[in-house]
Amino acid sequence: MTQTLTLRRPDDWHLHLRDGEMLKAVLPETARHFARAIIMPNLVPPVVTGAQAAAYRDRILAALPEDMRFEPLMTLYLTEDTDPADVAAAAASGLIKAVKLYPAGATTNSASGVRDFDKVRGVLEKMAEIGLTLCVHGEVTDPEVDIFDRETVFIDRVLDPLRRVTPGLRVVMEHITTSGAADYVRGSDTDLGATITAHHLIINRNHILVGGIKPHYYCLPVAKRESHRVALVGAATSGDARFFLGTDSAPHTDPNKESACGCAGCFTATNTMSLVAEVFDHEGALDKLEGFCSLNGPAFYRLPANEERITLEKGAPVSYPAHIVSGEGPVTVFDPGFPLHWRVA
């Protein structure tokens, strides 16, 4: 007998769709299962103003196949020159649902991010006033700080002080990778949430480095040791509403990944629901899957949950293509290294 599970249609609270040919190739992979996604603004050049976000939303909708429905939830890329009035107008019109903070240099296309946090104080105060969410890439870029410690140091040096001086600011720590980050979220009030990716629930740093370097497992923040992965699984499957799915699906072509200086990012849009269902099933926590994928995110963003349902079925292992084809080249689909038994019917 096949086991089935019906959930409200999920959303992805952290997604990279890119632009042009890559957008065309990856958008259907997300829209097939997800109703909405928070769209990351790290294009080249970045999406900084309300006008740029409106134009990007239009390009996304134009790239959507006619038979699919999908709502892009737009964000602005915070720079030291961001105008609080432009942010407030874009939020008031319903165009944007968040502003994204990248410490300058922390990840792909983050060069225009923030160096001096005093310069963005006015924007953050305006956001606290209007209840607009700040999504944070939580890693310091100080070259003295070891790459595996960058999230932990960010919480102490940047995030906690920033939240103290901006009371009421709603913050999502994106793609958390450490037990300390999960503890920090648990120990805070409900103004702080965190997204967790499918890949950080599955790989630890050994997967990247043991037995040969695996460029398709390299992403930022880099996966940490096994005890942290276990803590992330614990947080995701706990039922705590402050944790929700943000895939951080970040497509790069194979030549750009399989290189002497390979790009960071795991592409999971195609098989995310199979990946997370497998993890939750393994934990005996399938009853928490709908909260993590479909309820906790909308609750944090103060949006209605989706009314539509999807059904997951468990059966013989599902096969996914090794890569999807884009006009820029092939993009490898994340391989968890174990069979996936759950599929979206």
Residues that bind Zn ion (CB under 5 A): 107, 137, 248
323 labeled part of a ligand binding site? no
**Least separation, in Å, of the C-beta of 252 and ligand OTD?**
6
Helices (H), the chain: 20-31, 50-63, 84-92, 121-130, 150-154, 160-165, 179-186, 205-209, 226-236, 254-257, 272-282, 289-290, 296-301
Q: Is 207 annotated as a binding residue?
A: no
Which C-beta is closer to ligand OTD: that of 42 or that of 204? 42
Catalytic site positions: 248
Site for ligand OTD in 175-234 (CB under 6 A): 175, 219-220
| Residue 42 interface partner, choices ligand OTD, Zn ion, none, CB cut-off 5-8 Å depending on type | ligand OTD
Q: Which is nearer to Zn ion, 104 or 318 (CB)?
A: 104
Task: Give the residue with the Cβ less far from ligand OTD, 107 or 306.
Answer: 107
Q: Which residue's Cβ lies closest to Zn ion? A: 137
Our CB check for ligand OTD shows the closer of 16 and 314 to be: 16
Q: Interface mask (CB under 6 A) for ligand OTD, residues 41-80, using x and -?
A: -x--------------------------------------
Please, which residues have CB within 8 angstroms of residue 208's CB and are 6 or more apart in sequence?
214, 217, 218, 222, 223
Give the x-and-dash track for 91-130 against ligand OTD (CB under 6 A). Answer: ----------------xx----------------------
Instruction: Give Rg (Cα) of the chain.
Output: 19
Transcribe 80-134 into DSSP letters: TT--HHHHHHHHHTTSEEEEEE-BTTSSTT-TTSBS-GGGGHHHHHHHHHHTPEE
Residues 36, 73 contacting (CB under 8 angstroms): yes
CB of 341 vs ligand OTD, minimal distance in Å: 27
Binding residues for substrate, by number, are 16-18, 42, 137, 220, 252, 264
Binding residues, by number, are 14, 16-18, 42, 100, 137, 175, 220, 248, 252, 264
